[in-house]
Amino acid sequence: MLRSRVLANWSVRIGAGILALLVVVAIAAPWLGTVDPSLFDAGSRDLLPGATGEITTLEGETLRHRFLMGSDSFGRDIYSRVIYGTRVSLVVGVATALLALAFGILCGLGAGYLRRLDGPLMRFMDGVMAIPAILIAIALVALWRGSILTVVIAIAVPEIPRVTRLVRSLVLSIREEPYVEAAVALGTPTTKILFGHILPNCIAPLLVQGTFTCAFAILVEAILSFLGVGLPPDIPTWGNIMAEGRVQFVSYPHNVFFPGLFLAVTVLAVNILGDGLRDTLDPKLAKRV
Amino acid sequence: MISFIARRVAAAVPVLLVVAVLVFLLLRLTPGDPAAILAGDAASTEQIARIRAELGLERPILVQFGIWFGHLLRGDLGQSFYYKMQVSTLIGQRLEPTLSLAALTIAIAVLVAVPLGVLAAWRFGGWLDRALMAFSVLGFSVPVFVLAYVLIYLFSLRLGLLPVQGYQRLADGAWPWLQHLLLPSITLSVIYIALISRVTRASVIEALGEDYIRTARAKGLPEARVLIRHALANAAVPIVTVIGVGVALLIGGVVVTESVYAIPGLGRLTVDAVLARDFPTIQGVILFFSFVYVLVNLLVDLSYVVLDPRIRY
């Protein structure tokens, strides 16, 4: 019943459809007419989209290659880099959402159910939320230097308080439900009440929150890479491609526009999916916003 | 009223204190010698030793925090090794461009978003409403730097209407100042417009369902007066709240926008400091931005008293 309502929602269908396509692109990247994204050729620098040029493989072999999206100032194929960039964005988005959810759920359950933990934990979370999210991420990446793992953690940290607040508010209302009272009266251990009775009833809003966190994470990863403080430049990410392309933006705007388009469409798809899920799974929230 | 203000101010203090602790811990919980990190990569052994003595790094961590916090209260954010000056002076120098950008962005956003939101709510379900909702999803999704390049391409490179980048001080004339800020502010205002118009729409729709709206209409008041004086006025609290909360988005956007448009403000300073691993400056900028954010939201809280006379704490 609920499942069919979710699947009947057009926002869910469109968002999930585009995302499914992107997942296929990410997995099938090597077979989509791409070359290794790190390959370059001095003779194929700054080609316009659609131009044909040469590219040298790692074995030193020279291939004829059609540069669908042109090439950058090193003579690398933008199309291949953009396609492989899909992998990084999706991995960072999903991993960040899962990490933020995991820690947020733990903190939220603790704050909502164990009253003594509530005050100090939530004051701490208020403090974290008072620092703009991007600044936390930038500062953490600056400390640890960029890798996929550090970038994921750095983006997840400022998102944890949001999840915590959500879970805490859910727990506060769910703990008053008769089935929780019954479980307490039966002497059910606290961990079982938390994870067996309360958490399953938080799934719908958490799914919605997780989707928005995923969109945010993809966006912030691109911003960090674009500013030059994110993933190292040898990893093809949309932000990195744009950062390299911006120097020549006036003459070769496509180096910025192609990765930018992929980034915008991906974030849009995740947000549309989130809106659809919110409308169908969490009508109370839908009315508020 | 005074006790309400006093309580709101008192509630902001612990938040700022937690922020200070977090920024302090940022360096202490990192592997490596904080003195060496603070002094920068090019520092000599004597410089590192001097910083270590100054911060009391041999003493217990609570004492270290006391020393650091004491400096902070006196407005001493430390010395930037990269810019070779006090971080507080540095922030002061970079304040004008950022403040100009933020002010213009908020002005544009509010002037566009509030009327749009009211109109969408008025014709709830109509084409404007649906267009606005679609735009707001788009506004949240198009990254600010992608939008920046699209606008530069259209207005600066193709049409040649506005300068590509840079900043002119307000003291050197209002027109060049505005000319350089227009594109960055429009870029930055898009996500803000999406946010504010959405909330305006939702809260005006809610207000329009109230009995006093029916009464106002029954009295024969003109529709514009019903919408503005009755519906919008009663929807003001959530709108002002979201403007305050949105300042966090704005600060994040400033960092990106200033980089794209080469504006020498605090956002650009943040990125440059991170690239140079200039930690005193990073700490200072984070503290400054968070302080502003908390202050703005405190003012928002206090504005409730004016906006909604029913609110009495």
What does the pLDDT look like over A61-95, one tens digit per residue? Answer: 777 777 777 777 776 878 888 888 899 999 999 99
CB proximity B142 to A under 8 Å: yes
CB proximity B275 to A under 8 Å: yes
Which H/E stretch holds residue A62? strand A62-67
Q: Which of A131, A223, A256 sits opposite B19 (nearest CB)?
A: A131
% of chain A at pLDDT higher than 90: 28
Spans in chain B with pLDDT lower than 50: none
Helix B266-275 / helix B247-260 crossing angle, nearest 10 deg = 70
pLDDT band (50, 70, 90) for residue A289 = very low
Per the model's pLDDT, the better-predicted residue between A46 and B291 turns out to be B291
DSSP state of A47: P
CB proximity B270 to A under 8 Å: yes
- What distances in angstroms separate CA B94 from CA B49, B77, B88, B97, B285, one per listed residue? 30, 15, 10, 7, 11
> What's the rounded Cα separation, in Å, for the pair B86 and B89?
5
pLDDT in tens, A109-153: 989 888 888 888 888 898 898 898 899 998 888 888 778 898 999
Q: Which of A130, A215, A223 sits opposite B15 (nearest CB)?
A: A130
- Tell me, what's the pLDDT at A103? 95
User: How buried is residue A280: exposed, middle or buried, by Cβ count under 10 Å (0-12/13-18/19+)?
Assistant: buried
* CB contact (8 A) between residue B26 and residue A130: no
**Nearest residue in chain B measured CA to CA from A228:** B275
A97 has a pLDDT exceeding 90: yes
pLDDT band (50, 70, 90) for residue A284 = low
- Tell me, what's the pLDDT at B197? 93
**CB A253, CB A2: distance < 8 Å:** no
User: Distance (Å) from the C-alpha of residue A260 to the closest C-alpha of chain B?
Assistant: 5
Q: Which of A127, A253, A256 sits opposite B18 (nearest CB)?
A: A127
Per the model's pLDDT, the better-predicted residue between A128 and A28 turns out to be A128
**CB A249, CB A256: distance < 8 Å:** yes
pLDDT in tens, B264-298: 999 999 999 888 878 888 889 999 999 999 999 88
* CB contact (8 A) between residue B275 and residue A229: yes
Q: Per the confidence metrics, is the pTM higher than 0.90?
A: no
User: Distance (Å) from the C-alpha of residue B138 to the closest C-alpha of chain A?
Assistant: 7
A52 has a pLDDT exceeding 80: no
Q: Which of B17, B137, B144 sits opposite A272 (nearest CB)?
A: B137
A106 has a pLDDT exceeding 90: yes
* CB contact (8 A) between residue B150 and residue A257: yes
DSSP state of A201: G
A184 has a pLDDT exceeding 60: yes
Taking CB atoms and an 8 Å cutoff, what residues of chain A touch B15? 123, 126-127, 130
Q: Which of A126, A135, A275 sits opposite B289 (nearest CB)?
A: A135
Between β-strands A51-56 and A62-67, what pairing exists: parallel, antiparallel or unpaired? antiparallel
Question: What's the mean pLDDT when you consider all of chain A?
Answer: 85
Q: How many other β-carbons are positioned within 10 Å of the β-carbon of residue A228?
A: 16
CB proximity B89 to A under 8 Å: no
pLDDT band (50, 70, 90) for residue A190 = confident
ipTM attached to this prediction: 0.85
User: Distance (Å) from the C-alpha of residue A253 to the closest C-alpha of chain B?
Assistant: 8
Q: Which two tokens stand for residue A81?
A: 């880099």
Taking CB atoms and an 8 Å cutoff, what residues of chain A touch B274? 138-139, 141-142, 227, 229
CB proximity B17 to A under 8 Å: yes
Per the model's pLDDT, the better-predicted residue between A138 and A46 turns out to be A138
Size of interface A-B (CB pairs under 8 A): 138
Q: φ and ψ at B119, to 5 degrees?
A: -65, -40
Closest among B142, B186, B146 to A245, alpha carbons compared: B146
